[in-house]
Amino acid sequence: MGNRLDTKQDKGPGQIQVKRLISKDTMPYLLLLPVFIYYAVFWLLPVASGVNEVFTGLDGRFTLFGNFRLMLESDLFDRAVMNTALFAAISVVIQYFIALTLAVLLSRKFKGSKLLMFVTMIPMAITPTAVAIIWKTGLVRDGWLNTMLVGLNIIDKPFVFMNLEGLSMLLLIILIDTWTVTPSVMIILIAGLQGVQKELKEAAYLFGANKWRILMDIVIPILKPSIITSVIMRLIAAIQVWAIAVMVLGYSKVPFLVERIAFFVDVVPGIDTSGKIAFTLSFTTTIIVLLATVIFLKVSKSSNAAGGGR
């Protein structure tokens, strides 16, 4: 017992001070400190540097609208804005409805549902570069897509998809993107459907509700958090689309906002104004993503409040 008492008494003031510093309240912050440092060095500093470039002219002086004027006057900027807006609006709606239909269908676990799940998940396992290669080889005149369509007697002769322009080519890019990303949206919705209890559906059937009313009045409201998450993710990704369009068609065929950033960085890096335009486009795209997300959340909350009021 004397030894135990001596051990307790051996603790010096330094050990007590360390114990006070590393308390339960300070420990979480100490554990998160490396993450904060990492983001400060590799994210916050580059972002601050980029914002500084946006508001600094070619002469090194502050400018409020000078670089934005260069951006507005840059090649294909108006088409890039229009294509990005159309792509985001059309692709999000199409992908959401396809994903919701597949999620509701697969949640019923019918015979062959596992095989259908496997087939629909295949695009998720393919990298964007491989997706571009697959579709680029399919869209040429003698590609696999024409071979399949002619073999099924859907078309009489091969069609040159790569010659499409304007809205037709944009819709083709939307179809490729839909094939690629719909499974990821579907997975989020399937996870949300796990929270729908069978008892709720059975009670609705007992009160005379049909499948459509159950879907609209029970399933969709329970799925709202998953729907909001999936739509926001797809909206952000749709605004930032560029890789598939560039890898399949090359630059400037179907311009997007982020595609213009890559164009000025990769294709014309030697021009004095190209860097300023790229930084300004990045800043503008970020603001558009934030505004689109905030507006969608506001609309979702107001619709929820209206639904709750009813």
In this prediction, residues 287-308 reach a mean pLDDT of: 79
pTM tops 0.85, yes or no: no
Q: 101 or 209, which is more confident? A: 101
pLDDT tens, residue by residue, 84-142: 999 999 999 999 899 989 988 888 777 888 888 889 999 988 888 899 899 999 998 88
Percent of the chain with pLDDT over 70: 90
Burial letters for 229-268: b for 16+ Cβ neighbours within 10 Å, e otherwise? ebbbbbbebbbbbbbbbbbbbebbebbbbbbbbbbbbeee
Q: What is the pLDDT of residue 14?
A: 53
- Which amino acid is it at 223? L
Q: What is the pLDDT of residue 309?
A: 53
Average pLDDT score, the chain: 84
DSSP state of 251: T
* Adjacent-strand bridge partners of 62: 56
Q: What is the chain's length?
A: 310
**Whole-angstrom distance, CA of residue 196 vs CA of residue 18:** 50
The residue ranges of DSSP E strands in the chain, in sequence order, are none
The helix (H) or strand (E) run that includes residue 292 is helix 272-309
Is residue 276 classed as helix, strand or coil in its secondary structure? Answer: helix
**Whole-angstrom distance, CA of residue 14 vs CA of residue 300:** 55
Backbone angles phi, psi at 56, to 5 degrees: -125, 125
pLDDT at 2 over 80: no
Q: 10 or 272, which is more confident? A: 272
**Chain position carrying tokens 């951006």:** 71
* Adjacent-strand bridge partners of 56: 62
Name the pLDDT band for 17 (thresholds 50, 70, 90): low
Q: What is the pLDDT of residue 231?
A: 87
Q: What is the pLDDT of residue 6?
A: 47
The answer to whether 248 and 218 are in contact (CB under 8 A) is no
The answer to whether 163 and 227 are in contact (CB under 8 A) is no
List domains and CATH numbers for the chain.
15-54 (no CATH), 77-275+289-309 (1.10.3720.10)
Gap between the terminal Cα atoms of the chain: 72
The residue ranges of DSSP E strands in 33-138, in sequence order, are none
Name the pLDDT band for 20 (thresholds 50, 70, 90): low
DSSP state of 58: T
CA 270 to the chain's CA centroid: 31
Which of 151, 149, 152 lies closest to 160, judged by CA? 149
The answer to whether 189 and 103 are in contact (CB under 8 A) is yes
Which of 69, 265, 244 lies closest to 169, judged by CA? 244
